[in-house]
Structure 1
Amino acid sequence: MTDHKILLARDISARSESMQAHLIAIRRDIHAHPELGFDTVRTAAIVEQELLRLGLTPQTGVGRTGVMVDIAGAQPGKTVLLRADMDALPIHEQTGLPFSSIWPGKMHACGHDIHTATLLGVAAILADLRSQLHGTVRLIFQPAEETPESGAQAMIAAGAADCIDVAITLHNKPELAAGEIALTRGASTASSDEFDVVIHGKSTHAARPHMGTDPIIAAASLVTQLQTIVSRELDPANSAVLTIGHIHGGTTHNIISDSCLIQGTIRAKSPQARAHMEDAFRRICAGVALSLNTRIEVNYQRGVPPLMNDDALIDALEPILSHQFGKPVVAKPSSSFGAEDFSLFTERVPGCQIHIGSGAPGRDDHLHNSDYQPDERSIHAGTQALARIAIDLLS
């Protein structure tokens, strides 16, 4: 490592360390006042005030309640987008922490308070070191990552993805110790699609099944056959998950229903697997309808795509992060069948999701848990990581 890179690593680390008390205070304030979906008005106001304090000029109301700010370097160049999500979850907090949620039924159980504080730290460092940038860093603070109505889509529609060349986000990961950094090749998260299937039969008395057409028999066959898509049609190394979450048919014991509703989700870790799942799903529905003399109505709704980490970008980030932290990054699979609407950015430009360890000593934490207590040292690691990435990619 050159002397310049060593000095830069020390400078970024020292700057991040010096503001940790302030960033943790912001995180705890946001944690105590969690907001859901697009209702991140208070959180966005905190973000705006912090950016103004740094001498930056943020745009507010981007995609309804998002905040965006560009930090232009001394020289022209590419634009790197860095994103933090701001919204909480409809979970009743049970941590007992002194800064627990003051609002029943709302909690930062996915660590978006950590992400928001981290990106504010990045803003402070880049505002001071902008003379080293050849290009622009766009910071976006996004609402509604946890909701079907995507905050990423809303911000993209408002121009957040215009003229960007690279898009990067981070996510805290309690399975990793605080301070560890993980990069994953391929899919970081899966696509998320939903379906509503109505099987139409013909109602009759249970004693005269031959006088009707039983949609529940067709539903039973359909549920079984749909599971063969994953087990028999997909490469196990490029898999998917099909889940039936709701079935409803009939009204009482002795009447064959005239319809049956099936609802569920399909998740896949590649665009190819996602497309195959939809095609096979429709094919099997048509086959069951034909074979059992029913009519099957399919409403298949595509949600967010899989978040595909760009291999060339991962190749570039590994040495950058190793230089900053003085050790190799954790290069092990850490992908999830969960969904992440940041994939709408990485569909447009090369991008990736970085995982920052947030596991606290002696705890076995998991995201979306009412007792989730991330290690706040993850803010220091995340701030260093994103600041160094922005500087090196634009140097």
Structure 2
Amino acid sequence: MINITDKHKCCGCTACVSVCPKDCISMLEDNEGFLYPVVDSVKCIDCSLCEKVCPVLHPLKNESEPLVFAAINNDESIRMQSSSGGIFTLLAEYVIDRGGVVFGACFDRDWNVVHDYTETKEGLAKFRGSKYVQSNVGNSFIQVKTFLDAGREVLFSGTPCQVAGLKNYLRKPYLNLLTVDLVCHGVPSPYIWRKYLQETVCRVYGIKKNKSVVNLCDYISDISFRAKDRGWKKYNVKVIYRNGKVEMMPYFENPYMNVFLSDLSLRQSCYACPAKLHNVQSDITLADFWGVDEVYPDIYDDKGCGLLFIHSKEKLDFLFRMNCRLLHQKLDIVVNYNPNILRSVNEPINRKFFWAVYCSQNLQVSYLITISKFVFMRIIRSIFRCL
């Protein structure tokens, strides 16, 4: 049976839960807000299926070098609604036009990030844009298999570890499945995200800080992690409230994004990601082409340009018929501008201390980056004292 003794070795993909024939595995939240599988040993029949489908215990290699393209959707309105080049929408529309189903990460009514599916082009809007929170996959893997076995075409999009988990869970190739992942910095804590939203709502609406806001949908009407109102490179975190107020903050000033980009709020498995580029199981990987202004200054307009990594060349000829601009790239060049393509972020030396202080003191998210800076300086001072 699956038994998580080292949290660095569980990415939370839910493959083990989905494959269990006795439904004896549950995903339970730890003190950092991440979900981990827990087995009911009384119901378990020791079939070991949960271990066999684990993408960390049984990673699959992808030895082929991907084709790499800079990519821009020619529909500017879609590109402006998207985090980078707007290519995901084109892929999804292709599948829906063929009577298919599209799975992706979206917000639920209370602004938690979950996986869901749509069978209409109108439903794709909820999947556009980055969500810098680990999504709750729920029973999406089981739903994907149901659609595939019924002969429907399916596009599943998610983080590389979620796609790897799905592929291991399915245990056989499906010609009617298109998988799309993204170059991932790491997934932040849903717990910190919930606390940040609670504190933000209390501040905007003048609610006492010690009061819990139950239904966030009553206060917030829209959220964008990557609003392009002031440009693609200097994107803003944008929150629209139901009282008419709009908050738009540069990502480098937003406390939640500061904690995320400091790598302190990431899941522990993200520091040794088992699904970086040469281990990805997707057909396509999407990313930001941050260096486009230097490589192609003539096409740079600060509205977003994506990278497209094609891993399964034999079934993706439709890409070249899409309504987009594709420019061939060299892998070593684009990696210089986006190192997360190949490398995991380093685990901060102060991560344990950070979480211990945060959980014990129940501090506001706005104080978190102050904690991280304080801890860093404390470590530096201790090093110099020992010299």
Which of the two has greater strand per residue?
1
Larger RCO, structure (CA 8 Å, separation 6 or more): 1
TM-score tier after normalising by the smaller chain length:
under 0.3
**In terms of Rg, which structure is larger?**
1
Give the TM-score of the pair, scaled to structure 2.
0.24
Give the TM-score of the pair, scaled to structure 1.
0.24
